[in-house]
């Protein structure tokens, strides 16, 4: 059983000086709007569940300083979170659970719905899941005849080239899962979603292979940090 962490310097006490601050933060959260709490304050509040006593503000600010942003904190691995001063397994697990919850909420908005008609929800899901990754990840979203998601396939961890993701294998899996269309997705860890020559070339090879067997490649979406690029929207998908 994981123990409850206390921030460095905090004392165990049933009555602590941070109680009033916690209550004020709780009321602002309940009574305010979406922007009632600053990023570090929201982290403070999330940490209350694992750190039952003491001031969580220094830990929250330390997390944002360490990882760079609120979203980057939630996308950090539990191991990396636990290494931050004032954190531990319980508090890392608490933040990781929030991250998983956000992903499942976003994924739930696109399941059993036509993806092309829920495009912004799809982009939100992909941004939450991939926008802060430090390495390149390639996914293929396979769709049925009504353009509903039937398989979210992790095709490769690494660069998108023919060595990592072969057109024949992409199309073969479409047959295996009964898909009639697909959307390619990958991220740029640099944060800049502009497509490279390799991105464009492999996309059009896959689209060409799909046309031969009536598998439609709807798009290739590249996820950056807070932004994205659609190859179809840029006229780069032939």
pLDDT mean over 159-175: 82
- Report pLDDT for 163: 53
- Last residue within a domain, chosen from 80, 105, 130: 105
- Last residue within a domain, chosen from 105, 133, 153: 105
What pTM, to 2 d.p., does this model score? 0.68
CATH of the domain at 136: 3.40.140.10
Q: 49 with 126, same domain?
A: no
State the Cα–Cα distance between residues 194 and 91, nearest whole angstrom: 37
CATH of the domain at 82: 1.10.150.20
**How many Cα atoms within 13 Å fall on the side-chain side of residue 212?**
9
Higher pLDDT, 18 or 232: 232
**What is the Rg, in whole angstroms, of the alpha carbon atoms belonging to the chain?**
22
Q: 150 with 203, same domain?
A: yes
CB atoms within 10 A of CB 209: 19
Cβ atoms of residues 65 and 19 within 8 Å: no
Residue 184 in tokens: 């390619």
User: With 60 as the cut, is the pLDDT of residue 235 above it?
Assistant: yes
User: With 80 as the cut, is the pLDDT of residue 44 above it?
Assistant: yes
Q: 184 with 95, same domain?
A: no
Q: 65 with 150, same domain?
A: no
Q: 165 with 97, same domain?
A: no
Domain range enclosing 206: 119-230
Which range in 19-33, 116-130, 168-182 is most confidently predicted, on average pLDDT? 168-182
Cβ atoms of residues 75 and 129 within 8 Å: no
- Last residue within a domain, chosen from 63, 79, 105: 105
pLDDT mean over 3-27: 62
User: With 50 as the cut, is the pLDDT of residue 13 above it?
Assistant: no
Number of domains in the chain: 2
User: With 50 as the cut, is the pLDDT of residue 3 above it?
Assistant: no
């Amino acid at each position: 059983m994981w123990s409850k962490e206390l921030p460095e310097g905090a004392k165990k006490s049933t009555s602590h000086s941070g109680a009033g601050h916690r209550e004020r933060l709780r009321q602002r959260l309940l009574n305010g709007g979406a922007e009632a709490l600053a990023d570090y304050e929201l982290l403070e509040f999330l940490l209350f569940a694992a750190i039952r006593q003491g001031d969580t503000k220094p830990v929250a600010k330390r997390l944002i300083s360490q990882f760079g942003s609120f979203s980057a904190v939630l996308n950090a691995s539990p191991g990396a979170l636990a290494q931050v001063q004032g954190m531990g397994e319980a508090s890392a697990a608490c933040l990781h659970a929030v991250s998983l919850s956000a992903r499942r909420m976003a994924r739930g908005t696109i399941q059993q719905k036509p993806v092309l008609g829920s495009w912004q929800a799809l982009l939100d899901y992909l941004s939450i899941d991939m926008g802060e990754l430090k390495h390149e990840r390639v996914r293929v979203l396979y769709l049925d005849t009504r353009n509903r998601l039937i398989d979210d396939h992790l095709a490769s961890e690494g660069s998108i080239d023919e060595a990592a993701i072969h057109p024949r294998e992409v199309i073969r899996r479409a047959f295996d899962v009964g898909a009639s269309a697909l959307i390619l997705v990958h991220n740029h860890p640099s944060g800049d979603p502009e497509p490279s020559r390799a991105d464009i070339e492999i996309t059009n090879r896959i689209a060409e292979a799909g046309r031969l067997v009536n598998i439609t490649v709807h798009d290739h979406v590249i996820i950056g940090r807070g932004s994205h690029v659609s190859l179809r929207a840029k006229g780069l998908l032939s």
